[in-house]
Structure 1
Amino acid sequence: MSAKPAPHLEFAPPPPTGTGRGWAVAGVAHIALFLALGLATAWKTQPQSLQAEAELWSAVPQAAAPRLQAPTPPTPEPKPEPKPEPKPPKPSKPPQPAPEPEPDNKLRDAQIALEKKKLEDQKKKEAAERQRKALEKKKKETEEKEKKEKAAKEKAIKDKVEQEKAALEKKEMEKKKAAEKAEAEEKKRQQEQALKDKKDKEDAARADAMRQENLQRMQGMAGASGGPNATGTALKSSGPSASYAGRLVGRIKPNITFSGDVVGNPRAEVEVRVAPDGAIISRRIVQSSGNMAWDDAVLRAIDKTEILPKDTDGRVPPLIVLGFRPLD
């Protein structure tokens, strides 16, 4: 037995029409929306080279959305009895579209996890890059430090070699100077020895001449030429003649070169040793004039004269003292 339709009130608005069409449009729109969401997220769910598994849990429990069901067709209503047409009712509000379903929480969490993993990988990559740069910087600093240390060592070695070379050169120079000094001293010693030998030889010659003279005097004492009051033992007087000293001074004085000033007319006495042939052997000041410049001028003049003339008897005294005055 079928249910009776609800009685229609006289003043109630007529039932809304087009409800079935609205439910059909809403269902089609939901299906199209789900297809679009599936196509939009299909590229993110395809397999990639990076495989990852994640089990996602929602921080806050959420209830699942109700399953979408096809709308039930409306039951046909019995035709009402004809009645006077009422006033047209106010148009009703159009049906509101059903709210869009929320996207799948698991898909969203998976995307967040992938983004986090990418961010972590990026951070790891940046950390590795920073570490690599730090290692390269440290390696470069180490190489520069080793290079500087090597350069410093090479410089120290070079300086040491130069110092040793300079020390060796200095030592060689000192050795050379010492050898030159020793050679000069040896040469001087040899010269002094030669002079001494010459002097000894001349002294020996004079001594031999004196011995010969004494021998002759002893052998020929009868032929002595001294006066009656003579007390000598020689055949002839051995002293110089009275004018011989004046002759020697006259011979030496032209060689004196003196331009200084003297006070008074001081006398410089010089002892001169002479060889038998008249050659001057040595000379020395026995009494200074008090003016060293005049004394030196006299000595230089005697050295310049070199040989003294013989006396009237044909001999030269071996030792004679001569006096020189600048104003004579």
Structure 2
Amino acid sequence: MKRQESSYPLQPPRERGTGRAIALAVVMHLLLGYFLYHGIQWQNSTPAGAEAELWTEVPDTALPRPVVTPPIKVAPPPVDNTEADIALQEKKRQQQEAARQAQLAEQQRQKQQADQEAQAQRQQQLAAQAAQLAAQKAADAKQKQQQQQADKLRQQQLAEQQKQDQLKQAQADAKKKADADKLAKAKTDAQQTKKLDQERRARLAQMQGLAGGGDASSGDGLAKSGTGSGSGGSAASAGYAEKVQRLVRRNIAWAGDTQGLETVVAVRCAPTGTLLSATITRSSGNAQWDDAALRAVQRSDPMPLDTNGKTPASFTITLRPAA
């Protein structure tokens, strides 16, 4: 409403007491006219005749009488109301000018107040926009930080997964290598066993040739069942199987399954205990356990001597993995 009012052209404010001023001017004019009328009539009137009686007396020269002069009536000067009208108009003009100046001052004050309010409103809007922009920046920064943390966590998870995959792959490669090494070692042990068996057979044949037909006590002995148990043929004493069991048991290296495995190894020895041959006569069905049992027997060379100071020529050993 204030801006709409300020857009109209300036108009002088309605004066207060205008009716009173007009009434007072009318009364003054009537009084002025009344005085003018009576003043002019007094000057134009013919003075009335006067009668006088003259008495002649002997003048008294001793005491002169004063001469009485009749008073002269002076007409009042005519009132010039031009200056009053001018003064009244000037006063009225001054009042109008003062009212106009007051209205202009009020309009200026209202305009300044409106400008101040508009400026304050703009400042509030700018402050609100700045606060909203700061809040938006803070939210964007927080979202960016959360996204960075999430990306970092995903990268850590991926790195951990890759590390686990590499570890699994390394374990698988190590297992493959261990299996390959074990297989190669088994092949090497088999070849060495075969070579040792051939050498022992050659030595046995040579010793038999020198002895003239071999030892009468040799024969096919049957070992008693048990873990690492064994006995010499018919010439073995009662405690010989326990000696063989203790010796072979120390040389068994097995970490696999222990259920249902049993391997029978036939051995041939020289009287001094030297192992001439070791052969699996009954397999357990597990090639790795059979190889471990055969190696344990081969590592037990030489075999223990019996009570008579000699080792039985041949006997069998039944081997089972310790539970």
TM-score (norm 2): 0.47
Q: Answer 1 or 2: higher relative contact order, Cα 8 Å, separation at least 6.
A: 2
TM-score (norm 1): 0.46
